[in-house]
Amino acid sequence: MKTTLLALLVLLSALAPRVGAKTFQLETAGIRDIQDAVDAGALTYEKLVQLYLARIDAYDQKGPSLNSVITLNPEALSEARALDAEFKAKGRRSPLHGIPVLVKDNYDVVGMPNTGGSFLLAGNMPAQDAPMIRALRDAGAIMLAKVNLDEFAAGGHGFSSLGGQTHNPHDLTRVPAGSSGGTGAGLAAWFAPLGLGTDTGGSIRGPCSANGVVGIKPTNGLLSRSGIIPRVLTFDTGGPMGRTVYDVALSLGFMTGIDPNDPLTATSAGLFFKDYTGFLRKDALKGVRIGVIRDLNGSDPEVDRVFDAAVAELKSLGAVVIDPLHYPAVVLEGRTAVMDVVRGADIREQYAIYLATLKGDYPKTLSEMIERADAFTTPRGKMLPHPSLYNRFKVDNAGPPSTSLVYKSARVHGMAMVRDAVLGLIQDHQLDALVYPTFAKRPDRIDPEFRSKPRAPFSGTLTSIANVTQFPDVIVPAGLTTDKLPVTISFLGPAYSEPRLLAYAYAYEQAFPHRVSPATTPALPGETFTY
């Protein structure tokens, strides 16, 4: 009898949950969750990389075939093992120690090609890391993969001639938006907790919206543009993307600072921080005056419905909402006019500067790029032509030079005009930030014929205003449409207002955690464990 009772007690003890036990789930794991599991000895960085590589293997070219990854880092596992050994011997370099990162394939990363998604730059091996990459590596992060993008970061389809079409994991028939579509799709599918994108007119924010993840288009000048294939340098910036506001805020601080090779970063002197997580508060929206931009209201009733609910949620958190507001015509019309003038000269001249640094048989000018593209008319293996992009490049190639009066006027006076009009709206209503639906329409269906069609005008978003004004914009999930597609809201404020914008997004996310995982990429065995 005593033996039976003892055996029963042992069994009950084994079945009972351990006191203080934690459950690790890769699906919801942020950087702090990962590091907690490592500290407890329940996870290693090598095992973490293996879990993410298994997801890429299962879902990128197999299963739903998201097609987001162009190149895997062949040294990722060995780097993870070395970081495990370093952690045991010396401790953690930083909170980013051992954290895998998805890198848009227009950043220079030593050991992996930088192609811009184009057959023209296939095999291009950078000699050194871009400063943003170097900063993350110094912090102990692992560049896990280079991911697909719209070719040369031009467009919103998620297609490149080298990488092909990336699919939205929430609906495989839809685009992941662009140009950082591979980063957005990969983050949504849990291929890594962090990613890097670039943004010229909405190229971080569109993929965040379409894939339902967090991101920031920072103030232009906060982060170095060196070592990134330019798009339109005047409006370009890199920025972090992730699955939580905390993770995006954390990674941002490691990449700030003055870069002597990028003069624009000098404008951030005394205005950047190395740690933005200290600004994050759950009550950050209380008493804050938020202006609600309604210029694209009516574009999509489902997005309008989710956005209206998000505005109500902001009110419930104590925000003072000024609704509706509209940008003046000088902003809505001026942003397009300014970008149209600046684009051609920047593309033509900045591409030449970047291409001159490449070793090997690569084009050295925009004209050479166009010539080689014109000769590329049929598929070569996985490489597909993209004639509509290069037809647009022909228009850019014929634009006025940066020495012209029209260009200088657009950069000096046009950008200032748009910026001051936005600041005037903020000041007139005594606002702390503006909020708007990042994209006012659901992502488009994938059109297999779009490569041969004239490039459609960019519509359905106000994101380019942040590029012309150079202002920061923080994106956070806000809910789902009835067909299970993510909708995000954007918090926009004056230059270098990242601390408070991140705080607003964090407070909203903590109270209303709207991020959801796509049904096409479910959990795999081993991704959940108790310790």
Query: Tens place of pLDDT for every residue, the chain, 531 residues?
Result: 455 555 544 444 454 455 579 999 999 999 999 999 999 999 999 999 999 999 999 999 999 999 999 999 999 999 999 999 999 999 999 999 999 999 999 999 999 999 999 999 999 999 999 999 999 999 999 999 999 999 999 999 999 999 999 999 999 999 999 999 999 999 999 999 999 999 999 999 999 999 999 999 999 999 999 999 999 999 999 999 999 999 999 999 999 999 999 999 999 999 999 999 999 999 999 999 999 999 999 999 999 999 999 999 999 999 999 999 999 999 999 999 999 999 999 999 999 999 999 999 999 999 999 999 999 999 999 999 999 999 999 999 999 999 999 999 999 999 999 999 999 999 999 999 999 999 999 999 999 899 988 876 557 899 999 999 999 999 999 999 999 999 999 999 999 999 999 999 999 999 999 999 999 999 999 999 999
**Segments making up each domain of the chain, as ranges:** 23-520
- Helices 329-355 and 366-374: crossing angle in degrees, nearest 10, is 80
Distance of CA 418 to the CA centre of its chain: 25
Tell me the C-alpha distance between 338 and 454, whole Å: 21
Give pLDDT, residue 10.
47
- Helices 131-138 and 245-255: crossing angle in degrees, nearest 10, is 110
Cα Rg of the chain (Å, integer): 23
Phi, psi at residue 391, to the nearest 5°? -65, -35
Please answer whether residues 136 and 143 qualify as being in contact, where contact means their C-beta atoms are separated by less than 8 angstroms. Answer: yes
Catalytic residues: 104, 179, 203
Decide if domain 23-520 falls under CATH 3.50.50.60.
Answer: no
Closest CA to 241 of 268, 276, 287, 206: 206
Please answer whether residues 486 and 480 qualify as being in contact, where contact means their C-beta atoms are separated by less than 8 angstroms. Answer: yes
In angstroms, what CA-CA distances link 116 with 1, 197, 230, 233, 346?
Answer: 74, 12, 9, 15, 17
Strands (E), 40-177: 69-72, 100-104, 142-147, 159-160, 164-165
Give pLDDT, residue 459.
72
Phi, psi at residue 186, to the nearest 5°? -65, -40
DSSP state, 265?
A: G
Closest CA to 283 of 69, 102, 511: 511
Give pLDDT, residue 299.
97
